Structure 1
Amino acid sequence: MVRLTKIYTRTGDAGRTRLGDMSETDKHDPRVDAYGDVDETNSAIGLARSALADGNELDRILSAVQNDLFDLGADLCVPESDEPREWEPLRIKPEQIDALEQHIDRLNERLEPLNSFILPAGSEASARLHVARTVCRRAERKVARLIADGTNINAHVMRYLNRLSDLLFVIARTANDGGKADVLWVPGGKR
């Protein structure tokens, strides 16, 4: 269990921060930027949960996701290394991705098939979930950039974020009265 006894350390006052392996880097480092977007995704999910009934199925799923996102942030915060460590870094595991896929499949089978793209609208919970989905997609793009730039990242991180954005889409539709309150895109709008 993590124990926080002091909230501020002043170590970031000069624009530097420590990663999980205690190495120092700039706060604008792409790795820090990526796990910052993961943290923002987690906050957006927390806000979306506040518009759902406590303890309902969607809230329970999202609660587990929020814990996973802390794991994922810890994974990104500790660079991969071939050097032996005194401790085992927390890493995203395939089972966490499998759980997302199971939720997607179970929830999606209850929804009406789509015949158009949907707008991020409808109920308050659904709109908030779409915001979380788009923030998750941004985090996914940041991780993709890290990988493209040659940063050694746990491959399960990218898979988790990709699947999570799909899950958030399905949960947003579920929160829209099982998709009945989805707002469909009208190509060309009302020109």
Structure 2
Amino acid sequence: MVNRLYTRTGDDGFTNLLGEGRVAKYMPQPEAYGTVDESSAAIGIARAAAQSERTRALLLTAQRDLYHLMAELAATQQAAPQFRKIDAQRVAWLEEQTDAITALIQLPKEFVVPGDSLPGAYLDLARTVVRRAERLVVHLVHDGLVENVELVRYLNRLSSLLFVLSLYENALAGVSNVTLAKG
């Protein structure tokens, strides 16, 4: 017997939620958790390119958190509490990590142009995908489809961590002055 990866249940343009229910694949909920999945993939590229073991470990932990975040987003409102792992403690962890990395770098006083090192550029790309995911989750919260506001806070803090990790990885690559947007 051959195990098949495909189920054919989504061929009609609908997808199952965790709990009872199906929604069109273009609806805000699948769009949000799909973008969180995309965020994790972008973080995976950054993790593969990172020079620092510290960076790689932080990114892997964030990817594991995003897995839980996706599960809650993919659940019906009734089932969501059973998948809830992202809370104020996870947000606080991100803040602690961001502060620790910030202490190791010099923050620029204006906007930077991504691309000073390959690992830094990948982290900046991941940051922008996370910010898009954040906007989609905010939409779900504002529409009353998701009640856990910690999901928004988590994604917001994750983008901050990715920003400082980009600067940290740039510094490890020997970039002493990042490229500034104003030149």
TM-score by length of 2: 0.90
- The structure 1 segments of at least 4 consecutive aligned residues displaced by more than 2 Å after TM superposition are 87-91, 178-181
2:113–2:181 CA contact under 8 A, matched in 1: yes
Q: Which amino acid aligns with 2:7?
A: T
Q: Residue by residue, what CA displacement relative to the aligned partner does 1:111-136 show, whole Å, maximum 9, x if unpaired?
A: 11322211111100000110100000
Partners of 1:153 and 1:127 lie apart in 2 by 33
Establish whether residue 105 from structure 1 lines up as the match of residue 99 from structure 2: yes
Give the match for residue 115 of structure 2.
Answer: 121
Partner of 1:185: 181
In structure 1, the residue matched to 2:14 is: 16
Q: Would you tell me which structure has more helix in proportion to its own residues?
A: 2
Contact 2:72 2:84 in 1 (8 A): yes
Aligned-residue RMSD, C-alpha: 1.8
What are the ranges of 5 or more consecutive residues in structure 2 without an aligned counterpart? none
State how far apart, in whole Å, the 2-side matches of 1:19 and 1:44 are: 24
**Contact 2:68–2:83 under 8 Å retained in 1:** no
Q: Secondary structure at the match of 2:83?
A: coil
2:25 is aligned to: 27
CA contact (8 A) 1:79 1:153 kept: no
Q: 1:136 maps to which residue? A: 130
Partners of 1:135 and 1:14 lie apart in 2 by 28
Aligned-pair CA distance for 1:88: 2.6
- The 1-side partners of 2:86 and 2:112 are apart by 31
Aligned match of 1:167 = 161
Q: Give the superposition deviation at 1:152.
A: 3.0
Check the 8 A contact 1:91/1:154 in 2, yes or no.
Answer: no
- Determine the structure 2 residue equivalent to 1:91: 85
Q: Distance in 2 between matches of 1:156 and 1:90?
A: 10
> What is the CA–CA distance in structure 2 between the aligned matches of 1:130 and 1:42, rounded to whole Å?
13
Distance in 1 between the 2:84 and 2:5 partners?
22
Change (3 A) 1:104 1:29: same
Equivalent residue in structure 1 for 2:71, among 70, 74, 86: 74
Deviation by residue 1:149-169 (Cα, 9 ceiling, x = unmatched): 232331110110010011100
When structure 1 is superposed on structure 2, of 157-166 and 72-81 the one drifting more is: 72-81
SS, match of residue 151 in structure 1: coil
Judge conservation of contact 2:28–2:140 (CA < 8 Å) in 1.
Answer: yes
Deviation at 1:109, TM superposition (A): 1.2
Shift in CA distance, 135/49, structure 1 to aligned 2, threshold 3 Å: same
